[in-house]
Amino acid sequence: MSKSYTLAELAKDVGGVVRGDATVRIRRVCGIEEAGPEDITWIAHEKYASRLRTSRAGAVVVDRHFGETPMPAILCDDPSFAMTKVLARFAPPIPQPAPGVHPTAVVAESAQLGHDVRIGPHVVIGERARIGDRCVLHAGVFVGDDTKLGADCVLWPGVVIREGCTLGQRVILHPNVTVGGDGFGYHFRDGVHHKIPQIGTVEIGDDVEVGSGSCIDRAKFGATRIGPGTKIDNLVQIAHNVEIGPGCILVAQCGIAGSTRLGRLVVLGGKIGVRDHISLGDGLRAGACSCISKDFPAGAVVNGIPAVDNQQYLREQAAVRRLPEWSAVLKDLVKRIERLESAADNP
């Protein structure tokens, strides 16, 4: 039942050339170690090359300049990119609700649905909401009043988008994502935290993807903004009035506090915290688990809690590793100086 392709067909897909038997039939993509005779694998880095020797893979995708391989190979310019196409070939179709609106869905009369939408069971769509052409709303999705979705969005089960938010085209929201929850804002007075109304909204650009369980809060006023092409992993927190530029990568469990701005192509490793009201320049890269508490310019590479320039961080960490021995050195120095001083006083 599973699909199969010849090595020649796959090579054509990825713009590569076959070395060895081009008629080998491939049924699966596998890691080097697990692959069997009907599987294709790949070598992204020269350092994994040695593993090929013992691999039972039927074929391998490698760089054009890669040496001999024990099995037929597809030679290409960029094996990792080639694999995205090979994976696409073998990708089973992603299940979606039947075309149209499931009878158990509750869609406001004033809502506008585009062409060829698929609205699953128990979906709820609010007043005046607009759902773009070919959008897929899986079971149980909630779209609030006046929220607008561009064409070709995919919303997985459990997604909640509150009122008045805007999504671009081809936005993917994974299960249990929340968009447009109230920002966390209070004014402390007379012993009480008075809720500050969060009257803004959320604007998400084209081609944004948001991972399972992540939260993007609505703005206090104006909008919380996610730039086009930005990719957000699971369980990430985006606070009110944050503005994230295009093409950013936010790995799982990051949190960005209120009103902070990220430029273009910023890359935040997993579990990073970013404080409120700061600005991170284009192309900044930050190491996993760091905590960024001040502005950094474009191109900065930072790490640590609090985050500092990565070179500084590496020097600090090297020093911290040696602190236990320094402790001894320091004590020894004190003694030796005392001895010298005492000798100097009593020559």
Window 280-319: residues binding its own copies (CB under 8 A): 288-289, 291, 293, 305-306, 308, 312, 315-319
The size of the interface with its own copies (CB under 8 A), counted in residues, is 117
Note if 194 is an active site residue.
Answer: no
Residue 182 near its own copies by CB under 8 A: yes
Q: Which of 205, 227, 255, 263 binds its own copies (CB under 8 A)?
A: 255
Residue 196 near its own copies by CB under 8 A: yes
The least distance separating its own copies from the CB of residue 45, rounded to whole angstroms, comes to: 11
Q: Which of 10, 131, 160, 242 binds its own copies (CB under 8 A)?
A: 160
The least distance separating its own copies from the CB of residue 305, rounded to whole angstroms, comes to: 5
3-class DSSP string for the chain: CCCCEEHHHHHHHHCCEEECCCCCEECEECCCCCCCCCEEEECCCHHHHHHHHHCCCCEEEEECCCCCCCCCEEEECCHHHHHHHHHHHHCCCCCCCCCEECCCCEECCCCEECCCCEECCCCEECCCCEECCCCEECCCCEECCCCEECCCCEECCCCEECCCCEECCCCEECCCCEEEECCCCEEEECCEEEECCCCCEEEECCCCEECCCCEEECCCCCEEEECCCCEECCCCEECCCCEECCCCEECCCCEECCCCEECCCCEECCCCEECCCCEECCCCEECCCCEECCCECCCCEEECCCCEEHHHHHHHHHHHHHHHHHHHHHHHHHHHHHHHHHHHHCC
- Which of 258, 146, 149 is closest to 208 using CA atoms? 149
Q: Which of 1, 53, 94, 109 binds its own copies (CB under 8 A)?
A: 94
Residue 80 near its own copies by CB under 8 A: yes
**110-149 residues near its own copies, rule: CB under 8 A:** 120-122, 124, 126-127, 138-140, 142, 144-145
Residue 237 near its own copies by CB under 8 A: yes
Residue with tokens 């006023």: 221
Residue 36 near its own copies by CB under 8 A: no
Residue 213 near its own copies by CB under 8 A: yes
- Which of 167, 247, 257 is closest to 203 using CA atoms? 167
Nearer to its own copies, 51 or 90 (CB): 90
The least distance separating its own copies from the CB of residue 67, rounded to whole angstroms, comes to: 23
Nearer to its own copies, 68 or 296 (CB): 296
Catalytic residue from among 174, 187, 193, 240: 240
Nearer to its own copies, 115 or 328 (CB): 328
Residue 48 near its own copies by CB under 8 A: no
Residue 206 near its own copies by CB under 8 A: no
The least distance separating its own copies from the CB of residue 60, rounded to whole angstroms, comes to: 14
**316-335 residues near its own copies, rule: CB under 8 A:** 316-324, 326-327, 329-330, 333-334
Could you list the active site residues? 240
